[in-house]
Amino acid sequence: MSRDDQLEHFAREVVDCGFQLHRDIGPRLLESVYEVLLFRLLEGRGLRIARQVPIAISYQGVVIDNAFKADLLVEDRLLIELKSTEKHEPVHAKQVTTYLRLMKLPLGLLINFGMPTFKEGIRRIANDYHSGWTHE
């Protein structure tokens, strides 16, 4: 399986688990609840997941090790950022784009569990990655 195929497999697993979670417990709980539960669901599928991953930034010799924190990182390749708000805000996608760039990752999923349906709440954000389906 190619690296792109693996990445797409990881993304499908996340989407499936996120959909299951949204269906079973519903929208608008705290982000931290969805983070722990999605972590456990993905871990149960045999994926290596990290929570609250520190993101460093370096500028002119100054390094800030914990400048940001990513909610979930799947197999060191797929960034997952979770929200639980009533609508998508442009800043959320910009946040994911920034994290992808700083971490040099190709793909991220922004999942907003505050939306009425899971489909309304998921966005795929690429960082110089063109395989698979695209976001809005």
Residue 130: Cβ within 10 Å count: 8
What's the chain's Rg over C-alpha atoms?
14
> Where do the domains of the chain lie?
3-126
pLDDT digits (tens, 9 = 90+) for 40-74: 999 999 999 999 999 999 999 999 999 999 999 99
pLDDT digits (tens, 9 = 90+) for 83-120: 999 999 999 999 999 999 999 999 999 999 999 999 99
Can you give the pTM of this predicted structure?
A: 0.92
Tokens of 94: 């910009």
- pLDDT bucket at 14, cuts 50 / 70 / 90: very high
Inter-residue contact 8 to 132 (CB < 8 Å) = yes
Give the model's pLDDT for residue 131.
60
Residues contacting 48, CB < 8 A, separation 6+: 74, 75, 76
pLDDT digits (tens, 9 = 90+) for 17-35: 999 999 999 999 999 999 9
Topology classification of domain 3-126: Trna Endonuclease; Chain: A, domain 1 (3.40.1350)
